Structure 1
């Protein structure tokens, strides 16, 4: 199973997403701010297989974190997530996050997210 890092400032979503992926056998860590992502990735005892990154978070939004991750860990698949329809339909989400391997809405069900994890981590 995959080792997953979730970066999202919505505590309820972060907890539910983590719990769901854990139930499917994935190992999950989670942070609440963009600034915590780099620390989690660089200080991890084992590398992460995939990063789910919320578009809008305090202390470092997705664009900054995404670009930083492509430098630090270029092989780490990053999936951009958002719960806001206006963001999901925006050029920023569709084109500005082109370095991300995928972009999904938070309304995606757990089965879809698990399939995405498996496809991007070649499980």
Structure 2
């Protein structure tokens, strides 16, 4: 199973995603925003298999977080979540082999499926 870093400023989404992915056997490290996630990555990048992040967060948004995360861990798999489909268009500039997106709201089964796809 994978080690997943989750970054979302919405507590309800964090709880939902953590429950869904933990039930699949993954280890999920939860952060409340992009800065906290980047701080975690700075010391643990080699152990993270997948970054699941909200796109719209204060201070450091999910696209900027993804760009910085890829510097620390090239080849990192990414799942971007957003309630606004136009925000996901910004992800096109990311140079990443494994990038998937998920529009909010989503179900437990949808997040599990997207993560399975991102990890294969």
User: Do they fold alike, i.e. is TM over 0.5?
Assistant: yes
Count of aligned pairs: 116
Question: Which consecutive unaligned segments of at least 5 residues does structure 2 have?
Answer: none
Q: Deviations over 1:78-103 (max 9, x none)?
A: 11101x2xx21x1x422x11226011
Report the secondary structure of 2:51's partner residue: strand
Question: Which consecutive unaligned segments of at least 5 residues does structure 1 have?
Answer: none
Moved more, 36-45 or 70-79: 36-45
Q: What is the TM-score when the length of structure 1 is the normalising length?
A: 0.83
Report the secondary structure of 1:4's partner residue: strand
CA separation in 1, counterparts of 2:77 and 2:91? 13
Q: What is the TM-score when the length of structure 2 is the normalising length?
A: 0.85
Partner of 2:100: 102
CA separation in 2, counterparts of 1:106 and 1:59? 20
Q: 1:120 to 1:45 in 2, by over 3 A?
A: closer
Superposed CA RMSD in Å reads 1.8
